[in-house]
Every structure is written in C-alpha cells, then in structure tokens.
Amino acid sequence: MDIIGFMAPLADGRDAIRLVVDKPAAAKEAFAAGGWETSEEDIVQVVLADKPGALGTAASKLGAVGINIDYAYSGSAKGVGTIAAF
C-alpha cells in the first residue's frame, strides 16, 4: 500500500489521520488489525496547471456541479504539475 497524501487534523476533540492510498482495502485491514477505527470516502483528484488561478478554476467547476470541498490535499509530480485531491 502506498500513501499518496495525508493530513492529521484535530477533529471533534480527537486526533485523526486522513489518508489517500492506492489500495484502500489493504489500508483498512492494516488499521483494523491495529485496533484503529476507519472510514472510507470518495475523493476527486485533479492535475492542476502550474499557473495563478488554477485552483480557483477547479474549485469553481466542482462547485458548479454541487461538489463541496470539505478538505484538500496537494502535492506535485515530476513532469505533471500540481496534483490536488478534494
């Protein structure tokens, strides 16, 4: 299992880890074996152009079709540009 992105926010007074992984079933199994509570959500992943306003344009398009951004991950890939997951 590879971790593609992560964040560790404090949620409802509890520590939480949000992960984007390439094999969700394997991740859930590993965390369950450790006694950790897990949940799974769908995400949208996009490659953004490396220019001002690219994130705003993507967010506007998501909003136009009723997709809210509750949290976001970002990173980069050599030769690809900025990668964002919402």
Closest-CA residue to 45 (of 8, 82, 1): 82
pLDDT band (50, 70, 90) for residue 82: low
What pLDDT, on a 0 to 100 scale, did the predictor assign at position 61? 93
- The residue ranges of every structural domain in the chain are 1-41, 42-86
Decide if pLDDT at 81 tops 70.
Answer: no
- To the question of pTM greater than 0.85 for the whole model, the response is no
DSSP label of 65: T
- How far apart are the C-alpha atoms of 46 and 44, rounded to whole Å? 7
- How far apart are the C-alpha atoms of 80 and 49, rounded to whole Å? 9
What distance, in Å, lies between the first and last C-alpha atoms of the chain? Answer: 20
Mapped onto helix, strand or coil, the DSSP state of residue 72 is coil
Q: Token pair of 36, please?
A: 């950790």
